[in-house]
């Protein structure tokens, strides 16, 4: 049975930089509050006249293809993680496939929020291991800015989320690159972090224009305290589960790339697991929480900065809406 490895990474973030100072002009917040609670200094927002989830992903893909010396036609399948697709349906996988001129190849969408990229990686890993495909494009991409409530009413979530896209090209290999993936979910907490509408299970009469004007549609509801508490526990469990399954220790980790949920969550995990600063990569300060895109953007940047080298042990971990959480261990 073949193994799978990441052959290349790529990312794209929109040009528009949105600082905490700018957000303070839209709502009652401050750079001090945002920095202290989340570590975020700025994030990127798309220009709706230019960017879509699909074309941001295409740009990230082209970066990865160039780095790997591959062509679009080498891609045999797409696994696309997003909770903010360009259309309610179809998913973003088919739109990216069209952008890349790859008509005919399969495209699968995954909706596991902040854990979406690791779920997508796990699916692609299994397809490669069974021999079904040899080269798979794995994507995490989000446009969240267009749905954020950027008034004081929405300030507990509007300051956190940002836009961007990241990809990994997964290929068959003769020795293990992806050592393991572990996936978890607990739907009892679905409503602790969710967007209710446009959901399908309510009567037609509830879908009134006032609801849309009232921003009930796409409104992110988050119980920040609950999310924080569960995140710090589940992140650590998922990392330890991955290490145990591979008979490895935390000292063996060359670089932990956690989903960029909140700098305080990353710091908490680092402290709890007694990892050094050089063992943990964070870029949330510059991009905010880009949900499914955060891990591939961070991995792509870490690689470009020379922080991922041959033979390194890379650990990915995520937690988010669902609740879902997951980890992956990779030998580079």
Q: Which residues are catalytic?
A: 114, 259, 289
- Binding part of the chain for ligand COA, among 95-103, 128-136, 152-160, 200-208 by CB under 6 A, reads 152-160
Query: CA 242, CA 222: separation in Å to the nearest integer?
Result: 28
| Residue 218 in contact with ligand COA, rule: CB under 6 A | no
The one among 4, 38, 82, 122 contacting ligand COA by CB under 6 A: 38
Cβ density class 220-249: b for 16+ within 10 Å, e for less: bebeeeebeebbbebbbbbbebbbeeeebe
- Contact with ligand COA (CB under 6 A): which of 81, 121, 128, 159? 159
Q: Which residue is nearest to ligand COA (CB)?
A: 224
User: What is the 3-state composition of the chain as percent helix, strand, coil, each rounded to the nearest 5?
Assistant: 40, 25, 35
Residue 112 engages ligand COA in binding (rule: CB under 6 A) = no
Residue with tokens 């792509």: 300
Q: Is 33 in the site for ligand COA (CB under 6 A)?
A: yes
Q: Is 292 in the site for ligand COA (CB under 6 A)?
A: no
Closest contact distance (angstroms) between CB of 84 and ligand COA is: 14
Least distance from ligand COA to the Cβ atom of residue 240, Å: 20
Interaction between residue 262 and ligand COA (CB under 6 A):
yes
Asked if 154 interacts with ligand COA (CB under 6 A), we say no
* Cα–Cα separations (whole angstroms), residue 159 to 16, 104, 108, 213, 313: 15, 40, 30, 21, 33
Nearer to ligand COA, 37 or 67 (CB): 37
Q: Which of 263, 115, 84 is nearest to 186 (CA)?
A: 115
For residue 36, the minimal CB distance to ligand COA (Å) is: 9
| 189 lies in the site for ligand COA, by CB under 6 A | no
Residue 301 has which token pair? 């940047």
Structure token pair of residue 104: 């005919």
Residue ranges in 313-332 that form contacts with ligand COA under rule CB under 6 A: 320
Name which of residues 48 to 107 contact ligand COA (CB under 6 A): none
Kindly indicate which of the ranges 55-63, 71-79, 200-208, 261-269 contains the residues binding ligand COA, using the contact rule CB under 6 A: 261-269
Q: Which is nearer to ligand COA, 135 or 294 (CB)?
A: 294
Retrieve residue 269's tokens.
């995990």
Measured CA to CA, the distance from residue 161 to residue 219 in angstroms comes to: 13
267 makes contact with ligand COA (CB under 6 A): no
Of 16, 29, 215, 236, the one binding ligand COA (CB under 6 A) is 29
Q: Is 155 in the site for ligand COA (CB under 6 A)?
A: yes
Distance CA 59, CA 57 (A): 5
Non-local CB neighbours of 292 within 8 Å, separated by 6+ positions? 81, 82, 83, 110, 112, 113, 114, 116, 117, 120, 140, 141, 142
Q: Do 140 and 116 form a contact (C-beta atoms < 8 A)?
A: yes
Q: Who's near 54: CB < 8 A, 6+ residues apart?
A: 86, 92, 95, 96, 98, 99
Q: Which is nearer to ligand COA, 37 or 129 (by Cβ)? A: 37
Give the bridge partners for 331, in sequence order: 313
User: Which of 54, 114, 139, 302 forms a contact with ligand COA (CB under 6 A)?
Assistant: 114
**19 interacts with ligand COA by CB under 6 A:** no
CB nearer ligand COA, residue 170 or residue 220: 220
- Examine residue 195 and tell whether it contacts ligand COA (CB under 6 A): no
Return residues touching ligand COA (CB under 6 A): 29, 33-34, 37-38, 114, 155-156, 159, 222, 224-225, 227-228, 231, 261-262, 265, 289, 320
């Amino acid at each position: 049975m073949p193994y799978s490895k990441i052959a290349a990474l790529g990312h794209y973030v929109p040009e528009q930089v949105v600082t905490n100072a700018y957000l303070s002009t839209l709502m009652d917040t401050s750079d001090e509050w945002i920095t202290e609670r989340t570590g975020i200094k700025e994030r990127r927002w798309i220009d709706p006249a230019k960017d879509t989830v699909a074309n941001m992903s295409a740009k990230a893909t082209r970066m990865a293809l160039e780095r790997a010396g591959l062509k679009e036609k080498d891609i045999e399948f797409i696994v696309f993680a997003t909770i903010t697709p360009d259309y309610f349906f179809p998913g973003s996988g088919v739109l990216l496939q069209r952008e890349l001129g790859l008509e005919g190849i399969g495209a699968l969408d995954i909706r596991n929020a902040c854990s979406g990229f690791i779920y997508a990686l796990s699916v692609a890993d299994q397809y490669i291991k069974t021999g079904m495909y040899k080269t798979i494009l794995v994507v995490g991409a989000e446009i969240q800015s267009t749905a954020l409530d950027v008034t004081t009413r929405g300030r507990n979530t509007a300051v956190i989320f940002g836009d961007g896209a990241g990809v990994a090209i997964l290929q068959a290999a003769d020795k293990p690159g992806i050592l393991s993936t572990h996936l978890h979910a607990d739907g009892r907490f679905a409503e602790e972090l969710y967007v209710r509408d446009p959901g399908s299970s309510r009567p037609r009469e509830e879908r009134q224009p006032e609801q849309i004007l009232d921003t009930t549609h796409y409104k992110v509801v988050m119980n920040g305290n609950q999310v924080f508490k569960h995140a710090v526990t589940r992140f650590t469990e998922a990392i330890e589960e991955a290490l145990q399954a591979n008979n490895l220790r935390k000292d063996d980790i060359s670089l932990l790339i956690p989903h960029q949920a909140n700098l305080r969550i990353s710091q908490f995990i680092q402290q709890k697991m007694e990892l050094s600063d050089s063992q943990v990569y964070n870029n949330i300060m510059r991009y905010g929480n880009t949900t499914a895109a955060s891990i591939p953007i961070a991995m792509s940047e870490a690689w470009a900065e020379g922080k991922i080298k041959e033979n390194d042990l890379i650990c990915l971990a995520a937690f988010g809406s669902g609740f879902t959480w997951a980890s992956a261990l990779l030998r580079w």
